[in-house]
Amino acid sequence: MLTLAAFALALGFLITVHEYGHYRMAVACGVKVLRFSIGFGPALYSWKIKGSSTEFVIGAVPLGGFVKMLDEREAAVPPTQRHHAFNCRPLYARFAIVAAGPLANLMLAVLLYAVVNWSGVVMPAPMLAAPEPGSVAAQAGLVGGERAVRAGFGDLELDDLQSYDDVHWLLTRAILEKRDLLLEISGPALKQSRMIRLRLGELESTEPERELFRRIGLVGPFTRPLLGDIKVGAAADRAGLRKGDLVRQVGTVSVSDGQQLRRLIRGAVTGVQSSALPWKIDRAGVELVLNVQPERQIEGGIWIGRIGAYVGSVPEMVTVRYGPIHGLWLAVVRCWDVSALTVRMMGKMLLGEASLKNLSGPLTIADYAGKSANSGLTQYVLFLALISVSLGVLNLLPIPVLDGGHLMYYLWEWITGKPVSDKSLDRLQRGGFAILLVLMSIAIFNDINRLLG
């Protein structure tokens, strides 16, 4: 129920902001707005504001919205009203009205990011987990437990890292831009901070994001290899493990963090056989050795090990907060960076340089909406900001039927001095609809695979 409510609220809010951008710009440009609708189909509720001729409507199908303006192409317009018709307004006015919707989403994202920056957000500290053997991070010399202090793409471009989210963001940029990432690290095992280079420039980005980060070796922040709640009757319970046990060693492998322990548990199954291994644990200062045999479970078509316990402590958390000016500036930068990376990712998918499995549809978005809402207001606001950026960028793409497609028509009109012909417009609109249908089909297919996987 929370997932559905969070998704519906997010969708309705972001659509309203988008359409309100069109509406306010239309009014500012002297265009008469006949209807402002959130949702399609039959009207569930409608009203008018005193002094306005616009009908405001809540539609039965909440999958979008529209602003219907006075337009000679749709119905006859009295001569006395022609100067209020959309098609009779100057080119710059029509361009501004169409662009205002996506820009409203981008402006909203800046505001939401700024609010989070000003109020502060509790996030995992930039502590690095033990990388998988053979990964890029392991080859660079990371062993786990280090703190990432600064990072960037050159000696003069290093930025201070406030949270693990900053690390993840720079890794994403490095992957898409095919650049190596310089990382300054410190830690108890290091006498002084040192610089390492993560060689990501040669990393192929045609795999889904999850697989890419596994190859890099940094899939999450450092957590202590501590056991949490244990399911009664599960493998952990049968072996005698208890909540609060700190795992020191599995077989002959020393365990340094929760992520590494989860890998060892998953990999305890060879074929369909599960291996029992001695676990060395610390229980309230007392060292114990227990034999643990994970249960076999199939996931994604392969057998993995499970013990029926929560593995890994809560990561070290920090509060990240910025002042009014700096917080607003960082919000603008984040909105720009997310927009640029979104366009770059779409371009790579179009060229076959990134996996189409990265496309997400409504089911995945709804799932993230529920998870973010369950994590608190701040995480939900960050989710809204991300989706608002995506909605703004998507609508600015030069695909017919989208706002960007109409802007493309106006650009043609500005260059040639004449509008796109009705015949060409009809063909382009049909083609654009087909493109969106294909993209949506792929996204929903990916959603189903993620849910079943």
Cα 26 to chain centroid distance, Å, stands at 31
Instruction: Tell whether 26 is covered by a domain.
Output: no
Do both 382 and 302 map to the same domain?
no
Instruction: Tell whether 163 is covered by a domain.
Output: yes
Instruction: Tell whether 18 is covered by a domain.
Output: no
Check if the beta carbon of residue 261 is closer than 8 Å to that of residue 237.
Answer: no
Pick the last residue of a domain from 311, 343, 361.
Answer: 311
Nearby residues of 436 by Cβ (< 8 Å), 6 or more positions away = 399, 401, 402
Average pLDDT value for the chain: 85
Q: Which two tokens stand for residue 203?
A: 């990393």
Most confident segment among 197-206, 240-249, 289-298, 358-367: 240-249
| Residue 146 appears among annotated catalytic residues | no
Residue 452 has pLDDT above 70, yes or no: no
Of 285-289, 334-338, 376-380, the range with the lowest mean pLDDT is: 376-380
What is the share, in percent, of the chain residues with pLDDT greater than 90? Answer: 27
**Domain housing 415:** 90-120+323-453
Instruction: Compute the chain's Rg from CA coordinates.
Output: 27
Q: Which two tokens stand for residue 348?
A: 């790579």
Do both 385 and 443 map to the same domain?
yes
Do both 334 and 451 map to the same domain?
yes
pLDDT reported for residue 304: 86
Band the pLDDT of 104: cuts 50, 70, 90.
very high
Check if the beta carbon of residue 149 is closer than 8 Å to that of residue 161.
Answer: yes
Pick the last residue of a domain from 311, 336, 360.
Answer: 311
Check if the beta carbon of residue 237 is closer than 8 Å to that of residue 230.
Answer: yes
Do both 330 and 450 map to the same domain?
yes
pLDDT reported for residue 226: 93
Q: For 143-152, how does the pLDDT look when each residue is reduced to its tens digit (9 = 90+)?
A: 888 899 999 8
- 48's enclosing H/E stretch is strand 33-48
Band the pLDDT of 361: cuts 50, 70, 90.
low
Do both 207 and 258 map to the same domain?
no
Instruction: Tell whether 279 is covered by a domain.
Output: yes
Instruction: Tell whether 37 is covered by a domain.
Output: no
Do both 246 and 302 map to the same domain?
yes
Instruction: Tell whether 59 is covered by a domain.
Output: no
pLDDT reported for residue 279: 93
Band the pLDDT of 207: cuts 50, 70, 90.
low
SS3 302: strand
pLDDT reported for residue 283: 92
Nearby residues of 205 by Cβ (< 8 Å), 6 or more positions away = 175, 176, 178, 212, 348, 353, 354
Q: For 312-360, how does the pLDDT look when each residue is reduced to its tens digit (9 = 90+)?
A: 888 999 999 999 999 999 999 999 988 888 888 777 777 766 666 666 6
Do both 286 and 268 map to the same domain?
yes
How many structural domains comprise the chain? 3
pLDDT reported for residue 96: 94
Q: For residue 95, what are the CA distances in angstroms to 87, 326, 404?
A: 11, 32, 10
Instruction: Tell whether 440 is covered by a domain.
Output: yes
Do both 275 and 350 map to the same domain?
no
Q: For 11-68, how does the pLDDT look when each residue is reduced to its tens digit (9 = 90+)?
A: 889 999 999 999 999 999 999 998 888 888 888 888 888 878 888 888 887 778 888 9
Identity of the amino acid at 3? T
pLDDT reported for residue 428: 77
Do both 364 and 453 map to the same domain?
yes
Instruction: Tell whether 41 is covered by a domain.
Output: no
Do both 161 and 213 map to the same domain?
yes
Do both 435 and 377 map to the same domain?
yes
Band the pLDDT of 270: cuts 50, 70, 90.
confident
Q: Residue range 410-433: average pLDDT?
A: 82
Q: What is the CATH number of the domain that holds 144?
A: 2.30.42.10
Backbone angles phi, psi at 286, to 5 degrees: -105, 125
Band the pLDDT of 189: cuts 50, 70, 90.
low
Do both 306 and 337 map to the same domain?
no
Pick the last residue of a domain from 311, 332, 364.
Answer: 311
Rounded to an integer, what distance in angstroms lies between the CA atom of residue 256 and that of residue 384? 36
